[in-house]
Amino acid sequence: MPVAPIDPPPRLLMGPGPVNADPRVLRAMSAQLVGQFDPWMTATMNETMALYREVFRTANDATLLIDGTSRAGIEAALVSLLEPGDRVLVPVLGRFGHLLREIAERCGADVHVIETPWGTVFDEEQLADAVRRVRPKVLATVQGDTSTTMCQPLSQIGAVCRELGVLTYVDVTASLAGNAFAMDDWQLDVATAGLQKCLGGPSGSAPISLSDAAVDVVNGRRHVEAGIRESGDDDRGERIRSNYLDLAMILDYWGPRRLNHHTEATTMLYGARECARLLVEEGMDAAVERHRLHGSAMTAGVRALGLVLFGDQAHTMNNVVAVEIPDGVDGDAARAQMLTDFGIEIGTSFGPLHGRVWRIGTMGWNARRDAVLTTLAALEQVLRAAGTSPAPRAGVAAAQEVYA
């Protein structure tokens, strides 16, 4: 049976991610492969590490890529930090907090959870109190929980944790580069991300950074595979329960010894490097400001279309807005019309918010004025077709006022 070449339909991806990749990232990903120990390749890996130090705002040596989607980064961090029986505290503000909890449970950890209603965040004092009460080995939290669009404040909790000898892990998949994040200034130990949100790339690579303290914990369980072991490679501690996501081994691969582990996903490395290169060229503050500007324009636009914003507006992410689906409107049918008539994808959410909210993103390459205005123009038509009465041109006009 003849199979056609890949030819995806044109889409403007304005959901909570993935978003359209920056064409410059796609171009970088079409470059030819080189061998995994070619000096050019290892130099490119080192360059990528340096670039991601700027993106995470850290001096951490151990700043690299995990091959896999963001979830692989999360899992690498947790399975490498947590031994069975270790206590971990997980504040849950949405779906991705539940994911951390689940992964920590799979690691056999003693998982303590605190929850806040979806659409709210924790006060950092609340987090500090819970850390003091539970005294975990690791506090594992999400910065931007895309499921609710909330951005958890985290600038103070790292210092509290350091004083108590608690390691911090933060999932910044959806928030990095679109919202303020300063790994070293905030004294956070481990952070993991993905490319498909504000970094403007495809999913499939998970940037990660670890403080020296976190590296010491991971290396306390360092084992070298039998086939590549040399004299002096003594096993330490209990073996990490995943081979592919064993950070001690992955650090040996990205470090000066270049000990073979997996074969680095070369094309994803090119893409991840270009995502970071573009952000560093723009400047991290400028990237956050770009997301703030276009996110504000989208928010003003959807409000002017008569939609009600979901969640605590003092703590929303810059790069995705959630709105209540109006009474009487079939949310999934409206999203389908956005896609079929206008080629624009917007999202709903998960669990308790499925069918209750739409989530509209302005991130990565799509944090652009034309993308915002086009989405608002289309949404106005879809809302009218669904029986609501948005004032003509109101959404576009309100966004243009933000840009004026």
Ligand X SMILES: Cc1ncc(COP(=O)(O)O)c(C=O)c1O
In the region spanning residues 136 to 195, those forming contacts with ligand X, defined by CB under 6 A, are 142, 144-146, 171, 173-174, 194
Smallest distance, Å, CB 337 to ligand X?
24
Q: Return the number of the residue (22 or 145) whose C-beta is nearest ligand X.
A: 145
Q: Return the number of the residue (17 or 301) whose C-beta is nearest ligand X.
A: 17
What is the per-residue binding string for ligand X in 7-36, x denoting contact by CB under 6 A? ----------x-------------------
Smallest distance, Å, CB 173 to ligand X?
4
- Using CA atoms, how far residue 26 sits from 132, 298, 345, 399, in Å, is 46, 26, 20, 29
Q: What span, in angstroms and rounded, lies between the C-alpha atoms of 37 and 241?
A: 27
> In sequence order, what DSSP letters do the residues of 121-182 get, joined into one string?
---HHHHHHHHHHH--SEEEEESEETTTTEE---TTHHHHHHHHT-EEEEE-TTTBTTB---
Binding range to ligand X, per CB under 6 A, among 66-74, 125-133, 231-239, 318-326: 66-74
- Cβ contacts of residue 190 below 8 Å, gap of 6+? 77, 81, 167, 168, 169, 170, 208, 209, 210, 211, 214
Q: Return the number of the residue (103 or 250) whose C-beta is nearest ligand X.
A: 103
Does residue 32 sit in helix, strand or coil?
Answer: coil
CB contact at 8 A, 353 and 322: yes
Smallest distance, Å, CB 149 to ligand X?
10
Binding range to ligand X, per CB under 6 A, among 67-75, 249-257, 362-370, 376-384: 67-75
Q: How many helices (H) and strands (E) does the chain have?
A: 13, 13
Q: What is the largest CA-CA distance in the chain?
A: 75
Question: Which structure tokens are listed for 326?
Answer: 């109006």
Smallest distance, Å, CB 142 to ligand X?
5
Residue 75 as a binder of ligand X (CB under 6 A): the answer is no
CB contact at 8 A, 302 and 376: yes
| Residue of the chain from 53, 71, 137, 290 that contacts ligand X (CB under 6 A) | 71
Angle between helices 70-81 and 212-219 (to 10 degrees): 70
Smallest distance, Å, CB 380 to ligand X?
27
| Residue of the chain from 52, 96, 186, 310 that contacts ligand X (CB under 6 A) | 96
Binding-site residue total for ligand X (CB under 6 A)?
14
Smallest distance, Å, CB 79 to ligand X?
15
Q: In which order are the strands placed within the sheet that holds 87-92?
A: 62-67, 205-210, 190-192, 167-171, 138-142, 87-92, 110-115
| Residue of the chain from 20, 69, 152, 187 that contacts ligand X (CB under 6 A) | 69
Smallest distance, Å, CB 90 to ligand X?
13
| Residue of the chain from 20, 58, 70, 319 that contacts ligand X (CB under 6 A) | 70
- Binding interface with ligand X (CB under 6 A): 17, 69-71, 96, 142, 144-146, 171, 173-174, 194, 203
